[in-house]
Amino acid sequence: MNKPSIFRTRYIPFETVDISSDELLFRDEELLITRWKAIKPRNDISGGISYTFLKEGIKISRFYDADKRFAYWYCDIINVEYDNATDKFTLIDLLLDVKLMPDGTMKVLDADELAEALEKGLITQEQACSSLKKMDSILQQIYKGVFPPAICMDEKYWKV
């Protein structure tokens, strides 16, 4: 399994971070599964497992606390750019996020950032609409009880 370069780009704050050092657990044309440690020290999380659904533009992460216990699911809504010549993925954060706690409590996050990015011309109307549609898809899956996807529940990837 070839290991690609993976970069994460955010608009607010604007930054591009090389996350290629994350451990690659699985790769095919539709999915990347990586294990990672928090880039910046935090009290609430130490790392996790991320499932990047390349065609859907959704990254679902299983976050772990400092004691390596499951803390929550975190869903980033993204656009994926891929450069075949360099085997490089750029995951562009479309700002909206969904956080799902083990007890089923759910929060939609960063809607204010999406509005700000649209107002300031940091993202296009097309990107904003895409983000909203992807968020709706995630919420509909949660409401129907079919979230997270089955691959995210495969325990063979859960070791942190």
**Helices 111-119 & 125-144 angle (0-180, nearest 10):** 170
Q: pLDDT per residue over 60-95, tens digit each?
A: 999 999 888 999 999 999 999 999 999 999 999 999
pTM: 0.94
Residue 21 lies in a domain: yes
Q: How many domains does the chain have?
A: 1
Cα separation of 81 and 148, whole Å?
Answer: 24
Domain that holds residue 70: 5-155
Amino acid code (one letter) for 59: K
Residue 160 lies in a domain: no
Domain at 109, CATH number: 2.40.380.10
Residue 85 lies in a domain: yes
Q: pLDDT per residue over 32-46, tens digit each?
A: 999 999 887 677 889
Residue 80 lies in a domain: yes
Cα separation of 103 and 6, whole Å?
Answer: 32
